[in-house]
Copies of this chain bind each other. A is one copy, B any other.
Amino acid sequence: MTVKSIKFSLDFRSGTPIYLQIMDQIRQMVAKGELVQGDQLPTVRQLATDLRVNFNTVARAYRLLDQAGLISTQHGRGTYIWEEPTDETIHQLRQQSLDGLTRRFLHEAHRLGASPEDVLSIVDQSINYWKVNGDPPKPDLD
C-alpha cells in the first residue's frame, strides 16, 4: 500500500545517462536492503516529477530493471521490487525457462483435448507470423 520513497539525486552533467543513474541507485538500495521484495516503487510519473525528468526516462529505467528480473512493472498497477536471488527465485526462474514453459503449454493443450498435430499446426502458423512480423501474435483475440 505504502509506496517506498526513493531519495537520491542525479548528476545531469556527469555524462552518464539519467536512466542508468536511476537503475544504479535502485540496484544499490536493493543491495543495501533499503528496498525488499514486495515494496512498491514510486510511479514513473511521481519519480519523474521528483527528479525533474520526463517520465519516459524513468519508465525506461524501470523497463530495463524489469527485464533484468529485479523489479516487476505491472500495467495500471504499479512497480514492485521482485525478489532477491534466493533459491526460491532460482526455482521460479527455472520454471520460467523455455523448457518448462513449453511443457506447461503442451500439458494445457493436451488437457484441452488437442492432438499433437493440432498443436504443431497452430504453433507453426504463429511462428511463421513471428518470423514475418518480427514479433509473435499479440495475446488479444482477433
Chain A residues proximal to chain B, CB less than 8 Å: 12-13, 15-17, 20, 28, 31-32, 72, 74-75, 77, 82, 94, 96-114, 116, 118-120, 122-124, 126-127, 130-131, 135-141
Contacts and interface: CB of A to CB of B under 8 A. Distances in A.
Counted per complex, copies of this chain come to: 2
Contact of A105 (B13, B101, B138, B141): B101
Tell me the interface secondary structure of chain A in the complex: helix
Contact of A136 (B13, B96, B109, B136): B109
B74 A112 contact: no
Given A105-B105, A136-B110, A13 B74 contact: yes
6 contacts: A96-B112, A100-B140, A102-B119, A103-B141, A106-B139, A120-B127
A73 to B, nearest CB: 9
A103 B137 contact: yes
Nearest to A132: B116
